[in-house]
Amino acid sequence: MTLELRGIARQVGADHHIHPTDLVLERGTMNVLLGPTLSGKTTLMRLMAGLDAPTAGRLFWDGQDVTGQRVQDRRVAMVYQQFINYPSMSVYDNIASPLRLQRVARSEVDRRVRETAALMRLTPMLDRRPLELSGGQQQRTALARALVKGAGLVLLDEPLANLDYKLREELRAEIPRIFERSGAIFVYATTEPEEALLLGGNTATLWQGRITQFGPTAQVYRAPVDAVTARVFSDPPMNFATVRVAGGQAALDGGRWPVGPLADGDYQAGFRPAHLRLDPSPGAIALTARVDGTEITGAETFLHLTRDSDRWIGLVGGVHRPAGGAALTVWLDPAHVYLFGPDGRMARPAPYAQAA
């Protein structure tokens, strides 16, 4: 069972919501669409579901062209961030509603509802109404209604965005378990790189209506193919600085490190906020920047820094309050530095990523 997009595109007037896209999703896989707001995640999911028609390209399900097929005739289920339940119905009836619309036999409806409720840990709540449930239980009810259909494709559009932190953590842990048992193709849209890493599976990074990279989540994170993907898959965003490469060595702020057989010239060095340190370590290079501000989250501090025209963010452990406007020395281990060429493509992965 596969879902294949061949040159799928969506254009509204002069606006390209989705540029021509090729993508193959396999049965039993978790696939994350990761990108900022308005990058095209929801539009791509609606094209997969058949809710929107592509302006170019074809959609295939198990080799069969379903591009013009009505959404009602597809084995698709979709859950949005604004979870929707029928308030006048019990949890049982909410879950059963799509099966009853399909005129499934009563005994089969009961079996599938109870089986799905057990999977979603909703059995004790079957007689309650949605407004008697917590936010997490309401979202699990919406998920159960999607899963009970036995859909081959389950689309989850930022389903946890409106829940509080504790409920998000609870459901993030449950969704991979649910996915493993269902055997469906799961597509999960999120703006949060951390969520993509927690869910695992595969990740497609989106930027301005284009998929910039698709592959196993850890691989996309460690080895982004270009600077755009690196920005998308980093929260806070990846830091960048121009470095000069000559004779197989890169130079930044007086620090030098070997980079192998790269052509001489200017490159963009990329490094994640967590890889800036306040204390030196063996081989680390010293960088001087101006402190623009700090954000203390408890166990960590975000440092907002400016170096020449570059704006950086450092994420360091502990509570730190350097004076605003003061010069600050931070340390960077070259093992965590990516190099991108003038075209933005990856020229050299960070050594730590190559060793992982």
b or e along 110-143 (b: 16 or more beta carbons within 10 Å of the residue's beta carbon)?
A: eebbbebbebbebeebbeebbeebebbbbbbbbb
pLDDT (mean) for 205-214: 98
Rounded to two decimals, the pTM is 0.89
- In DSSP notation, 55-95 reads SEEEEEETTEE-TT--GGGS-EEEEESS----TTS-HHHHH
Is 135 found in the same domain as 50? Answer: yes
- For residue 137, give the nearest of 122, 153, 126, 158 by alpha carbon: 122
Is 328 found in the same domain as 263? Answer: yes
Is 256 found in the same domain as 120? Answer: no
Is 298 found in the same domain as 194? Answer: no
pLDDT at 174: 75
Q: Look at the chain and report how many structural domains it folds into.
A: 2
Report d(CA 186, CA 164) in Å as an integer. 23
Q: Which domain does 251 fall in, by range?
A: 236-355
pLDDT at 332: 96
Is 254 found in the same domain as 136? Answer: no
Instruction: Kindly report the number of other CB atoms within 10 A of residue 260's CB atom.
Output: 11
pLDDT tens by residue, 151-202: 889 999 988 777 777 777 777 777 777 777 777 899 999 999 999 998 989 9
Report d(CA 303, CA 301) in Å as an integer. 6
Report d(CA 356, CA 255) in Å as an integer. 25
Residue 234: both structure tokens together? 């980093």
Is 82 found in the same domain as 186? Answer: yes
- CATH for 334: 2.40.50.140
Peptide bond preceding 54 in cis form (omega within 30 of 0)? no
Is 102 found in the same domain as 24? Answer: yes
Asked if residue 341 has pLDDT above 70, the reply is yes
- CATH for 94: 3.40.50.300
Higher-confidence residue: 46 or 146?
46
pLDDT (mean) for 19-48: 95
Is 155 found in the same domain as 263? Answer: no
pLDDT tens by residue, 227-248: 999 999 998 989 999 999 999 9
High-pLDDT (> 90) share of the chain, %: 69
Listed range (21-25, 69-73, 75-79, 165-169) with the worst mean pLDDT? 165-169
User: Where among 189, 213, 229 does a domain terminate?
Assistant: 229
pLDDT at 112: 92
